[in-house]
Structure formats: structure tokens, C-alpha cells
């Protein structure tokens, strides 16, 4: 996949720029309006109303919001999906995942922005985003923990399915044979890399419940036979050895500097000489006086604004650990990503 195709999915962001439009779109998915219109391109208002049991004024209101959001054509009386929205529907998984994510954590922004800025500890205690990403429920396999963990993994998996394409377009992975993806989640990143590189095998290292769900996620696909999962074992901090590539995808920003450095040290120790560490991470947000207003769909990622580092912060750490040939580039997706590679001497 080339860099242009790898960015094609970003067209979904146009439909979640503001809260009213994005919320109307969520409702249109929930009520079946989108499926109805996608399947019947020349249907009428009455057919839509009868099929979905919506009252006339409610449906008019919803369609008005969808028209304003570019989902429905403004030039026709009968509701018709716009060509731009039909194109975005090709990326329905990430479209729905981003809408869901934004809706879930919008109250954190609306109700807790002051705490986020002035009292981060209070924000962490009350924010829905931290209740969603509750890693303490990913340690022991119980039905409740599996359900809770699967909920946030749906989001990380949808994002990774597309972000991986941009990483693959920006770096030549063909030279590697065995990769270790630390915090590799559902195995989606490994899966995409294995699909693009038939000689590649992967180890995904993550928390036990995440590994259990991940193993099921890759079980049904051909590349699944080249992906194994290793659960993090607190008593055994060393990362699994025997890999020529260790990757950290959207993982290190989760950790303060000392833990970030420790992960990179463990990666170095697990790599054979000449092996590569690769970091693919969100960079710092371009929120400044010249920037456009922050789109609603970006709110969930924005809440982590303190966690995103400069490339220099990672490069300095890699250099301190003795890595060589350190190289950093930027990949522009819904936010600037940084792609850093470095070699163990
Ligand atoms: C922000 S998510 C990123 C997941 C995935 N790499 C992606 O790009 O979407 C961080 C991942 O690190 C995992 N994780 C948390 N603590 C960990 C630990 N001590 N060792 C390994 N993985 C850990 C989480 O379960 C989660 O899958």
C-alpha cells in the first residue's frame, strides 16, 4: 500500500467535525437509517419512516442534522446519501469506532477540562476514558474482565488496522523475519505486517486477558498461524528474545519517562546485535493559535495531550541506551505520528 492509499480512511473524519453532526450520525447508525439508505439509494421519506418506525417530525429533524453534516444530499427531496459519505462508508469499522469513542468520552471534555488542566489527579479519578482503558481488568481471565477489555480493544484494533498501513508505507519491513510487538494488543499490527510480509513471524506481548482476546482475533485469518501471543509475567520482566525487530506502536505514550526508558532498555536487551527497535507513536498535537478548531472526533486523542512526546525525547533515550543509526520521520494521519528506528550495535 502506498502512502496516499494508506491515508484514504481519513475521509471519515469529515463526518465528525462537530458534536451535533457526529451525534446525529451515531443515531442514524443506531436507528438503521444509514443501512436503509445504503441499501435503497432511491427510497422515499415514507418508506424510510415506515421501515424504521420513526415519527415524521423526528425523522425530519434527524435528516436535517445529517444534511448539515454532509451525510445526506441537500439537493434532493428524498433522502439520498452523498457520494462523499458513501466513500466513507467503505471504512465503516473505523467510522463507527471513532464515533463511539468520541461519544463515550465527550463528557470528560465538557465536564472535566478544568480538572484536566488544573488537577490531573482528579481528572484521572473521574474521567470515563480511564474507566474504559482499565488495564487492571486485563490481568485475570473472568467473563467480566473479558467483556470490559474487549470493549476498548475494539477501538485500538480499528485504529491500528488503518494506522498500520501508514507505517508499512513509510518503512521497509521486508528485511525482518521475527518481530516482537510490545503492547501488541489484539495482534492487529502484527497481522497487518505479516500480511504485507509473507516471510515475517510475530510475537505479540501484552497483558493476559488482552492476549486471550487477541489470540481469538487472529485465529480465523491465514496470517494467524505466524502470530503467537506471550502474556506479560510480572515475575519475568525480560522481553521474549529471538527477534530481529521490536516494535512499540502507540504504546510508549502510556508510560512516564522512567517506564518508557525501561521498556526501551528491555527491548535492547532482548534484541540480537544488529536488531532494530521501531517506535510508531502519536506526536505532539498541533494545538496553537494558528490551528483550526479541534474537531469533535479528535477529542478522545486530545485528552492524552500531555502524554505525547517529541521525537527528540525518544531519540535521546535511545541514544542514552547505546542504540545507533537513530532515524526519525513524521507520518501525518489524523495527528502527526512519529516513526523512529534505531539499531542495537
Ligand atoms: C494504548 S494501547 C496500544 C495498543 C496497540 N499497540 C495499538 O497501537 O493500538 C497499550 C497496550 O499496552 C498494553 N500493556 C499495558 N501494560 C503492559 C505491560 N506492562 N506490558 C506489556 N503491555 C502492556 C495494553 O494492554 C495495551 O494493549
- Cα(199)–Cα(42) distance, rounded to whole angstroms? 48
Domain spans, the chain? 3-90, 137-287+303-343
pLDDT for position 290: 58
Q: Which residues line ligand 1 (CB under 6 A)?
A: 135, 138, 156, 159-160, 182-185, 189, 205-207, 210, 232, 249-251, 254
pLDDT interval class at 209 (50, 70, 90): very high
pLDDT for position 147: 97
- The residue among 218 and 131 whose pLDDT is bigger is 218
Residue 248 CA: nearest ligand 1 atom is 6
Residues sharing a CB contact under 8 Å with residue 109, sequence separation 6 or more, in sequence order: 299, 302, 303
Cell numbers 494545538 correspond to 287
pLDDT for position 292: 66
Is 60 exceeded by the pLDDT of residue 8? yes
Is 70 exceeded by the pLDDT of residue 17? yes
Residue 263 CA: nearest ligand 1 atom is 20
Do residues 269 and 243 touch, judged by C-beta distance below 8 A? no
pLDDT interval class at 42 (50, 70, 90): confident
- Cα(228)–Cα(203) distance, rounded to whole angstroms? 5
CATH annotation of 3-90: 1.10.10
pLDDT for position 283: 94
Mutate to test the pocket of ligand 1, among 185, 303, 339 (most ligand atoms within 8 A of CB): 185
The rounded Å distance from CA 92 to ligand 1 centre is: 24
The rounded Å distance from CA 322 to ligand 1 centre is: 25
The residue contributing the CA closest to ligand 1 atom 11 is 183
Taking CB atoms within 8 Å and a gap of at least 24, the contacts of 108-115 are 108/303, 109/299, 109/302, 109/303
Instruction: Classify the phi-psi angles of 211: left when phi > 0, otherwise alpha if psi is within -120 to 50, otherwise beta.
Output: alpha
Q: What is the DSSP letter of 177?
A: S
Is 70 exceeded by the pLDDT of residue 281? yes
Mutate to test the pocket of ligand 1, among 183, 248, 335 (most ligand atoms within 8 A of CB): 183
pLDDT for position 41: 76
The rounded Å distance from CA 14 to ligand 1 centre is: 29
The rounded Å distance from CA 186 to ligand 1 centre is: 10
Cell of 255: 508510560
Mutate to test the pocket of ligand 1, among 207, 209, 265 (most ligand atoms within 8 A of CB): 207
Q: Cα-flanking dihedrals φ and ψ of residue 327, to 5°?
A: -135, 135
Is 70 exceeded by the pLDDT of residue 238? yes
Residue 163 CA: nearest ligand 1 atom is 8
Taking CB atoms within 8 Å and a gap of at least 24, the contacts of 138-143 are 138/206, 138/207, 138/208, 138/209, 138/210, 139/207, 139/208, 139/209, 140/208, 140/209, 141/208, 141/209, 141/212
pLDDT for position 279: 98
The residue contributing the CA closest to ligand 1 atom 27 is 185
Find the mean pLDDT for residues 264-279: 97
Mutate to test the pocket of ligand 1, among 151, 206, 213, 250 (most ligand atoms within 8 A of CB): 206
- The residue among 127 and 291 whose pLDDT is bigger is 127
The rounded Å distance from CA 98 to ligand 1 centre is: 19
Q: What is the DSSP letter of 198?
A: T
Q: List the beta bridge partners of residue 337.
A: 282, 331
Percent of the chain with pLDDT over 70: 98
The rounded Å distance from CA 237 to ligand 1 centre is: 15
Residue 184 CA: nearest ligand 1 atom is 6
Do residues 163 and 249 touch, judged by C-beta distance below 8 A? yes
How distant, in Å, are the alpha carbons of 80, 274, 302 from that of 76?
7, 62, 37
Among 45, 162, 106, which residue's Cα sits nearest to residue 302? 106
Whether CATH 3.40.720.10 fits 137-287+303-343: no
The residue contributing the CA closest to ligand 1 atom 24 is 183
Is 70 exceeded by the pLDDT of residue 287? no
As a whole number, the mean pLDDT across the chain is 94
Residue 185 CA: nearest ligand 1 atom is 27
Amino acid at each position: 500500500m502506498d502512502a496516499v492509499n494508506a491515508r484514504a480512511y481519513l475521509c471519515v473524519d469529515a463526518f465528525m467535525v462537530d458534536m451535533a453532526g457526529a451525534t446525529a450520525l451515531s443515531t442514524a447508525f443506531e436507528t438503521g437509517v444509514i443501512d436503509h439508505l445504503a441499501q435503497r439509494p432511491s427510497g422515499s421519506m415514507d418508506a424510510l419512516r415506515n421501515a424504521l418506525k420513526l415519527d415524521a417530525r423526528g425523522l425530519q429533524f434527524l435528516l436535517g442534522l445529517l444534511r448539515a453534516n454532509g451525510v445526506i444530499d441537500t439537493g434532493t427531496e428524498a433522502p439520498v446519501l452523498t457520494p462523499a459519505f458513501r466513500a466513507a462508508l467503505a471504512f465503516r469499522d473505523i467510522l463507527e469506532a471513532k464515533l463511539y469513542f468520541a461519544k463515550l468520552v465527550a463528557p470528560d471534555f465538557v465536564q472535566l477540562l478544568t480538572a484536566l488542566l488544573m488537577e490531573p489527579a482528579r481528572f484521572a479519578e473521574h474521567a470515563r476514558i480511564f474507566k474504559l482503558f482499565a488495564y487492571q481488568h486485563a490481568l485475570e481471565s473472568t467473563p467480566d474482565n473479558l467483556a470490559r477489555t474487549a470493549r476498548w480493544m475494539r477501538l485500538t484494533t480499528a485504529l491500528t488496522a488503518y494506522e498500520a498501513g501508514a507505517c508499512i508505507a513509510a518503512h521497509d519491513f521486508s528485511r525482518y523475519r521475527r518481530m516482537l510487538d510490545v503492547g501488541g494488543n489484539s495482534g492487529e499490527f502484527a497481522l497487518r505486517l505479516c500480511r504485507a510480509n509473507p516471510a515475517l513471524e510475530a510475537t505479540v506481548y501484552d497483558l493476559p486477558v488482552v492476549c486471550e482476546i487477541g489470540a481469538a482475533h487472529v485465529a480465523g485469518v491465514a496470517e494467524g498461524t505466524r502470530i503467537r501471543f506471550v502474556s506479560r509475567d510480572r515475575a519475568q520482566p525480560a522481553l521474549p528474545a529471538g527477534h530481529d525487530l521490536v516494535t512499540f506502536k502507540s504504546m510508549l505514550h502510556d508510560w512516564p519517562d522512567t517506564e518508557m526508558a525501561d521498556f526501551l532498555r528491555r527491548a535492547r536487551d532482548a534484541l540480537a546485535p544488529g536488531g532494530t527497535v521501531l517506535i510508531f507513536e502519536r506526536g505532539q498535537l498541533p494545538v496553537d493559535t494558528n490551528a483550526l478548531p479541534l474537531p469533535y472526533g479528535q477529542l478522545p486523542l486530545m485528552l492524552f495531550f500531555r502524554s505525547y512526546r517529541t521525537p527528540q525525547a525518544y531519540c535521546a533515550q535511545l541514544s542514552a541506551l547505546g542504540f545507533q543509526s537513530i532515524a526519525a520521520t513524521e507520518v501525518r494521519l489524523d495527528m502527526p505520528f512519529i516513526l523512529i528506528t534505531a539499531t542495537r550495535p
